[in-house]
C-alpha cells in the first residue's frame, strides 16, 4: 500500500462525509443520518490505524473529540427513527401512544442534532486533516500493508475471544464495533491489493455486520419499549406491550445464538489465512 493510496482513500472518506453532512443539514432523513454515522465510523477506523502505524506519532484524540457530539446526537435521532419504522411494521393499535411518544423523542433529538451540526467546526476539521496528511507522508510505504493486516488481525482476534462469551448483549455490541472497523480497513486493503480471497473475506465480514445490525435494531426497539411501558396508564396497552417485549427479548437471544454460530463458522473458514499471508 502506498502513501498515495492512503491519501486518496482519506480524501474520499472526507468527501463522502461532507456530502452526508450537507444532506443531514438539509433533510435529517433516516438514510442521510445512517450514512453520516457510517462515514464517521470509517474515519474512526482510519484514525485508529494511523495511530498504530505511526507508532504513536499521530494522536487520534482531537479528531474523535471533534466528531463525537455529532455522532452521538445523530445516533439518538436514528434510534428513534429505527424504532418508529419497526413499530410501523407491527400495525398494532395499542402502539399508537408509544409511536406518539417516539415522535416527540425524535423531534427533541432532531433539535439537538441541528445544534450539533451548527456547532461542528469544519475549519478545524480541515486543519486536523492537514496534520493527518503530514503524518501519512512520514509512513514507510513497505510497512503500510503489513500494518493494515496487523490492525485487522488484532481486531479479529479480539472478536474471537468475545464470541466465546455469547450470548451477551454487551459483548456482541463490542464485536459489532470491531467488525465495523475491520470492514473499513479491509476496504482500504482491497484498493491496494485486490484478490479473490480478500474480496470473499470482506463479503463475509459484511454479511456478519448485516446480521448484527439487524439484531442491534431489535435491541434498540426493546430498550425503547421497556422504557416506555412504566409510563403508560392504560392497563390494556401495558399488558400488550409487556407481552411483545417478552417476545422481543426471546427473539434477540435466539438471534444472538444464530450470530454466535455464524461467527464460529467464520473463524473456521480458510479465508482467515488471507490476512496472515500479508504479514
| pLDDT tens string 19-65 | 999 999 999 999 999 999 999 999 999 999 899 888 888 999 999 99
Q: What is the pLDDT of residue 184?
A: 86
pLDDT band with cut points at 50, 70 and 90 for residue 100: very high
Contact yes or no for 198/190 (Cβ under 8 A)? yes
Work out the angle at residue 278's Cα, subtended by the Cα atoms of residues 275 and 279, and round it to the nearest 5 degrees: 100
d(CA 271, CA 259): 19
pLDDT digits (tens, 9 = 90+) for 117-151: 999 999 999 999 999 988 888 876 667 778 888 88
Q: What is the pLDDT of residue 201?
A: 79
Q: What is the pLDDT of residue 134?
A: 87
pLDDT digits (tens, 9 = 90+) for 157-216: 899 899 988 888 899 999 999 999 888 888 777 766 666 667 787 888 899 999 999 999
Which cell numbers in the block locate residue 101? 411518544
Please, which residues have CB within 8 angstroms of residue 83's CB and are 6 or more apart in sequence? 102, 220, 221, 224
CA dihedral 43, 45, 47, 51 (to 10 degrees): 180
- Nearest Cα to Cα of residue 117 among 147, 72, 79: 72
d(CA 215, CA 229): 21
Structural domain spans, the chain: 1-139, 140-279
- Residues 93-110: what's their mean pLDDT? 96
Q: What is the pLDDT of residue 142?
A: 67
CA dihedral 26, 29, 33, 34 (to 10 degrees): -150
Of 64 and 4, the one with more pLDDT: 64
- Residues 92-97: what's their mean pLDDT? 93
- Residues 53-78: what's their mean pLDDT? 94
Contact yes or no for 131/164 (Cβ under 8 A)? no
pTM reported for the whole predicted model: 0.89
Q: What is the pLDDT of residue 272?
A: 62
Residue 2 has pLDDT above 90, yes or no: no
Q: What is the pLDDT of residue 17?
A: 97
Amino acid at each position: 500500500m502506498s502513501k498515495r493510496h492512503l491519501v486518496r482513500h482519506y480524501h474520499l472518506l472526507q468527501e463522502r462525509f461532507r456530502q452526508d453532512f450537507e444532506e443531514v443539514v438539509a433533510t435529517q432523513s433516516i438514510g442521510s443520518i445512517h450514512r453520516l454515522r457510517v462515514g464517521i465510523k470509517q474515519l474512526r477506523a482510519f484514525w485508529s490505524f494511523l495511530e498504530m502505524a505511526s507508532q504513536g506519532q499521530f494522536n487520534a484524540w482531537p479528531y474523535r473529540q471533534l466528531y463525537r457530539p455529532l455522532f452521538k446526537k445523530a445516533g439518538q435521532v436514528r434510534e428513534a427513527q429505527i424504532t418508529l419504522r419497526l413499530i410501523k411494521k407491527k400495525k398494532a393499535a395499542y402502539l399508537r401512544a408509544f409511536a406518539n411518544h417516539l415522535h416527540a423523542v425524535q423531534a427533541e433529538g432532531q433539535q439537538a442534532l441541528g445544534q450539533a451540526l451548527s456547532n461542528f467546526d469544519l475549519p478545524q476539521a480541515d486543519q486536523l486533516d492537514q496534520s493527518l496528511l503530514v503524518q501519512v507522508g512520514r509512513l514507510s510505504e513497505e510497512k503500510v500493508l503489513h500494518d493494515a493486516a496487523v490492525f485487522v488481525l488484532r481486531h479479529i482476534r479480539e472478536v474471537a475471544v468475545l464470541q466465546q462469551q455469547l450470548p451477551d448483549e454487551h459483548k456482541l455490541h463490542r464485536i459489532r464495533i470491531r467488525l465495523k472497523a475491520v470492514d473499513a480497513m479491509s476496504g482500504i486493503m482491497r484498493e491496494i491489493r485486490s484478490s479473490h480471497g480478500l474480496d470473499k473475506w470482506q463479503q463475509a465480514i459484511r454479511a456478519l455486520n448485516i446480521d448484527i445490525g439487524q439484531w442491534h435494531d431489535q435491541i434498540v426497539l426493546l430498550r425503547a419499549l421497556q422504557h416506555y411501558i412504566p409510563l403508560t396508564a392504560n392497563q390494556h396497552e401495558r399488558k400488550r406491550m409487556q407481552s411483545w417485549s417478552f417476545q422481543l427479548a426471546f427473539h434477540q437471544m435466539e438471534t444472538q445464538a444464530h450470530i454466535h454460530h455464524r461467527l464460529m463458522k467464520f473463524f473456521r473458514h480458510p479465508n482467515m489465512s488471507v490476512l496472515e499471508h500479508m504479514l
